[in-house]
Structure 1
Amino acid sequence: MGDMQGREIEVETTNMAHGGESVARYEGRVVFVADAIPGEKVVARVTDDTKKSFWRADTVRVLEPSPHRRAHVWPEASVDRDPAGRPGGADYGHIDLAFQRDLKAGVLVDALSRMAKVEREVVVEALPGSTPESTADGTGWRTRERLHVGDDGRLGPYAARSHRVIAVAGLPLAVDAVREHAPLSERMPGAGTVTILAPSVGEGARLVIGAQKPTVIRERVGDREFRVDDTGFWQVHTAAPATLSAAVQDAIDPDLFDPKAANLDLYGGVGLLAAAVGDRFGAGLRITSVESDERATEHAAENLAEWLGAAVVTARVESFARGLADASVTERARLAAATVVLDPPRSGAGAAVLEPLAAAGPAQIVYVACDPVAFARDVAVLAQAGYELDRLRALDLFPHTHHVEAVGTFRRR
């Protein structure tokens, strides 16, 4: 531990790093500063000086504010509160909404340029919120909120980069039903975590307490309903399932699409994106959805039942991709004509999945990414394997946070 921990330093921030912190320099050293905006002069308290190459710090006073600084959408996370008492989960909440999107675009452009040597212009597209007001101010979109129980039994989010529970009066990013049902003033000692969720089918919200057994809920996307566990994965933004479905449909080049090929939906969850492909290309579609979570694949089998050519496989995507090398001659031909959709977790798909996948030679790959740096790394892996990034869109699925979603189409060189 160095001697700077807890010390206050004056810095000027230059750009936004991936992860929601601004970059500054102090006596030649890189400092990642939370709650600042590029171009500001701030006083920041050093929170971590243990790394040789960089420090971390929290903004405690803004000396020269950015023109893009706004009152924080979450009052408890305001810069005039002690950093230790600010809830995490809205790390862009003090930044004008349009400028948030510019910053996210910049992070994606920079990652692609640095890691994949791909130069692209990107515009981050806004999504509709649950009401006209929430659309305008970027609040009211979270259909799920996970709270933790503090030492006093009160519920709240964790502080940023910590496991300390913070008491809050409200949840501005949540949809109305979640806000109304969140037991913020109750004491629930021993509950561990409480998730409040508002499914799109049915009224109101429900609570999932601790390691409760999963209950099946239904989520509606357009005219279609999906079965999913209340503890299972579903997109959090109220408009995300429909927006991503449409984005994947648009990302597929119909000239390269063969409904009879060995089409794949990797990390398929409960079948949202496989169904999007099915809705675009019709009843004759053949597609295999691969997902490691057994409960999710049970639901996917039901959610995709109307497509006779849809198969659901419970497997780790890595092992499934490795197995493609053993395909028969006929299967190989069907794989070479295939469209592959993949929506990996934040860590990306990585070489262990993408190299055997690219070796099978599909006609096109549509990659849904929730982490720009992992995505850029994978763009480089695919380029090495003969696939270039053709179309790219970026979607603001997580307003007031640093997260951004990208949808890229790759085709064989």
Structure 2
Amino acid sequence: MSENNLPRVRVELGPMAHGGHCVARHEGRVIFVRHGIPGEVVTVALTDAGEKSRFWRGDVIQVHRASEHRRTHFWLAADSLKTHAARNLPVGGAEYGHIHLPHQRRLKNQVFRDTLNRIGKLQVEAYVEELPDEDPQGLGWRTRSSFAIGPTGVMGMHPHRSNRISAVKNFPLAHPRINELKLWTLPLRGAQRIHAATSAEGENLVVLEWLHRITRSTTEVVKQQLDSYAEQLHPVLSELPNLNVALLMVSDPKHPSRRQLLTLTENTALTETATIDGTDYSWQVSADGFWQIHRNAPATLATAMLEMLQPEAGQHVADLYAGAGLFTAVLATAVGETGRVDSVEASPITSADAATNFAHQPQVQVTRAMVETFLKRAKTSWDAIVLDPPRAGAGPEVIAALVAKDIPKICYVSCDPASFARDAADLVQAGYSLEEVRVFDMYPNTHHMESVSLFTRKVV
């Protein structure tokens, strides 16, 4: 069914829900509606409306009674009103772009509180904070961006819950240095993804990725494809500004650990820096490693963690899901050479980055392991823990292992209020008190947010 023939309904939009959509009802049916604002009366094009579905999904395509907080979307490709009028679908990545920034934060306040209450039965007063030095429109903050590549070599992005690719030639949320690379001008045909990053030091990175089964019989074929593609790229890459790292990567979709890499530059890592609590820090982060997306996230999150945990010299602390070691570095300074920091990360790439970053700090022990495995095998406890899991959260197994260790302070850094609510409820049920919660608008113009929380328990 084309966008022009999608079924339509007129509804009044209810409250904003976790996930970036308003809740509406039509003839007893719940509809999750994107690109609206609570209280508006709108026409919705139903993008998912199966008769047996528990609920439907749709996009706002016409506004009959607009909210005072509505603004013209800053990005045509993500503007639901204009893209549907042109018989297209809006791309994801800026689903709050039609809402004035202050109201975006009010809505995120409501979503965070409602989610913790609904899932965790926790009553929390939290107020979403703007990050320092933020753009007035919430633009240009992403230091890492990824784009899909179509069969013809067109670079673009996917609409919500769609495999389609809509061509894009700029991404207003991306740091200006990423847009200046003009990635769409590269010879992209054959690849499936392109990743770009820019560091705090102004270095730029480009990774072109293919999805391909890698076996003993295909390894040589894959290598030949990479070599052939590299010949096309070399003259073009030399024109890209401040390109520090360029990498070709073939990923096996069924076996992520099987990869083929071809580095086209002398450097294979970016240098990230931040000043936190008066101390200057530096990290090496591999081309395909993890780092915080918002340009001001490292200093903001680490400062909040320090203020909550207040680690002291000589203490034994741990950084779980440590990545390249953002929090590890700050904790190592706090506990000093008489203390100890266990930095635990399962990814071989980012764990190797951490090993490099802390090779000359004897108080840091870098361990590559699943967090739950590490906790079960550890013969010691800690004075404090930093927990920064992926979007799915830590989960019951990790929370149970932490509880068994009788740790007096846990600082939980979360990028998803639903998984955080579940884990927070488990900690509270086990006797911890949720002492403090701070929520940061680390992803302006999207529904995402980041929180830093402190849990304490008296050690028996």
Query: What is the TM-score with the length of structure 2 in the denominator?
Result: 0.82
Q: How much does 1:251 deviate?
A: 1.6
Corresponding position of 1:71: 72
Of the three residues 57, 80, 83, the one matched with 2:82 is 80
Corresponding position of 1:267: 321
Corresponding position of 1:240: 297
Cα distance in 1 for residues equivalent to 2:166 and 2:385: 42
The one-character-per-residue Cα deviations of 1:103-130 (angstroms, maximum 9, x if unpaired) are 111111111112222212111111135x
Write the mapping of 1:167-206 to structure 2, written as runs, cut at 5 A.
Answer: 167-203=167-203, 205-206=204-205
Corresponding position of 1:122: 126
Asked if structure 1 preserves the Cα contact closer than 8 Å seen for 2:314 and 2:336, the reply is no
Write the mapping of 1:296-315 to structure 2, written as runs, cut at 5 A.
Answer: 296-315=350-369
Cα distance in 2 for residues equivalent to 1:258 and 1:176: 39
SS of the residue aligned with 1:135? coil
Percent sequence identity over matched residues?
Answer: 40
Corresponding position of 1:316: 370
Question: Are 1:28 and 2:73 counterparts?
Answer: no
Asked if structure 2 preserves the Cα contact closer than 8 Å seen for 1:297 and 1:314, the reply is yes
Cα distance in 2 for residues equivalent to 1:224 and 1:302: 14
Query: What is the TM-score with the length of structure 1 in the denominator?
Result: 0.90
One-letter code aligned to 1:110: D
Asked if structure 1 preserves the Cα contact closer than 8 Å seen for 2:76 and 2:82, the reply is no
Q: How much does 1:306 deviate?
A: 4.4
Corresponding position of 2:270: 217
Distance 1:185 1:66, change over 3 A: farther
Q: CA RMSD in A?
A: 1.9
Q: How much does 1:153 deviate?
A: 1.2
Asked if structure 2 preserves the Cα contact closer than 8 Å seen for 1:154 and 1:185, the reply is no
Corresponding position of 1:98: 102
One-letter code aligned to 1:316: M
Q: How much does 1:270 deviate?
A: 0.6
Corresponding position of 2:219: none
Asked if structure 2 preserves the Cα contact closer than 8 Å seen for 1:340 and 1:365, the reply is yes
Q: Which runs of 5+ in 1 are unaligned?
A: none
Cα distance in 2 for residues equivalent to 1:68 and 1:189: 42
Asked if structure 2 preserves the Cα contact closer than 8 Å seen for 1:182 and 1:196, the reply is no
One-letter code aligned to 1:408: S
Corresponding position of 1:53: 54
Of the three residues 220, 225, 230, the one matched with 2:287 is 230
Cα distance in 1 for residues equivalent to 2:288 and 2:75: 26
Mean alpha-carbon deviation: is it higher for 359-368 or for 192-201?
A: 192-201
Cα distance in 2 for residues equivalent to 1:121 and 1:191: 46
One-letter code aligned to 1:389: L
Corresponding position of 2:207: 208
One-letter code aligned to 2:362: L
Asked if structure 1 preserves the Cα contact closer than 8 Å seen for 2:312 and 2:334, the reply is no
Asked if structure 2 preserves the Cα contact closer than 8 Å seen for 1:169 and 1:184, the reply is yes
Write the mapping of 1:321-400 to structure 2, written as runs, cut at 5 A.
Answer: 321-324=375-378, 327=379, 331=380, 335=381, 337-400=382-445
Q: Which runs of 5+ in 2 are unaligned?
A: 211-248, 250-260
Cα distance in 1 for residues equivalent to 2:449 and 2:332: 26
Q: How much does 1:187 deviate?
A: 5.0
Asked if structure 2 preserves the Cα contact closer than 8 Å seen for 1:154 and 1:186, the reply is no
Q: How much does 1:84 deviate?
A: 4.0
Question: Are 1:280 and 2:327 counterparts?
Answer: no
SS of the residue aligned with 1:313? strand
The one-character-per-residue Cα deviations of 1:3-34 (angstroms, maximum 9, x if unpaired) are xx931001111111100011111112211001
Q: How much does 1:85 deviate?
A: 3.0
One-letter code aligned to 2:123: E
Q: How much does 1:259 deviate?
A: 4.5
Corresponding position of 2:245: none
Of the three residues 292, 295, 320, the one matched with 2:346 is 292
Corresponding position of 2:244: none
- The structure 1 segments of at least 4 consecutive aligned residues displaced by more than 6 Å after TM superposition are none
Structure with more contact order per residue of length (Cα contacts < 8 Å, sep ≥ 6): 1
Distance 1:71 1:279, change over 3 A: farther
The one-character-per-residue Cα deviations of 1:353-406 (angstroms, maximum 9, x if unpaired) are 001111110010000000001101111111121112111100111101100000
